[in-house]
Amino acid sequence: MKVVYSDGYFLKLGEHVFPAVKYRRIKEKLLEDKIIAPSDLVEPAMATDDDIQLVHTPSYIQKLKMGTFSPVEVMRQEVPYSRELVDAFYLATGGSILAARLAVEERIAVNLGGGFHHAFPDHGEGFCLLHDVAVAIRRMQKERKIAKAWVVDCDVHQGNGTAAIFKNDSEVFTLSIHQFNNYPTWKPASSLDIDLSDGVEDAEYLAKLKEGLATSLERFKPDMLFYVAGADPYREDQLGGLALTLEGLVKRDRLVLEAARERKIPAHITLAGGYAVNVDDTVTIHANTVRVAREFFKA
């Protein structure tokens, strides 16, 4: 199983709730715990402007390159603008494209970056400047490697950018399971939204996710799964209000990936958000997702 990673994923954010160091630490843990071997790591190239324009508007791309954002736009993005930061997002997007290509070839692949599901075609929101998963989907469709994509978003926050980008698109089915009373305030409709109350624990979460996966697959026959595996449904996450345990999150990963395995659907995985009080917990949750993916690959 190939794992896409670059030291360039590091987001230079200064003092920020987003643990930018997590990418390097996940990679180190995966190697230390022998979940992957060094030969499994693949270095991505930056996405090109042609890639980015498959989803994002030319005027927005120009703003990204020139930094010509208003104070309101920067506030909405919630990250301090720099060209280095934009380059990191281009690189993470290139990583998601590469992981999608690898998933077609090898059944499954993981991008240790990405999952920036709050980005819209013409603006960024909520720590997300580019929608790497949407770009990867459009690139795979353009290359005719897939026709129909299934996005399963298990981040604690609804994938509003994903929902907006693929609204009324019969070739992409978007499932988002999230805490309702949380960011974003405005939640455009996904193909299927599972709105959870505050404090939901493992059993209820897993039951509703299982039902949502079954409903999705009754309504839609995908060529590839794009799994946005956020760590922030964890009970000790600073930006979440659900109450999943570490064990519950592993069961979540297995449910999603088993649904794909049973139907021989290639799986593309991005790690998305995670803001646990203890960064070690976030790293463990993400590493566990890769561990489950490895089990999927061997099965």
Q: Which positions are annotated as active-site residues?
A: 118
C-alpha 10, offset from chain centre: 16
Q: Supply φ then ψ for residue 117, to 5 degrees.
A: -85, 0
Distance CA 224, CA 147 (A): 9
CB 77 within 8 A of CB 127: yes
Quote the CA–CA distance of 284 and 200 in Å, as a whole number: 21
| 71: number of Cβ within 10 Å | 7
| Residue 76: partners with Cβ closer than 8 Å, 6 or more residues away | 123, 124, 125
Task: Return the bridge partners of 179, or none.
Answer: 196
Nearest to 44 by CA among 108, 113, 95, 104: 95
3-state percent helix, strand, coil for the chain, nearest multiple of 5: 45, 15, 40
Q: With CA atoms as reference, report the closest residue to 255 among 274, 281, 227, 282.
A: 227
What distance lies between CA 270 and its chain's CA centroid? 4
**Residue pair 157/126 in contact by the 8 Å Cβ criterion:** yes
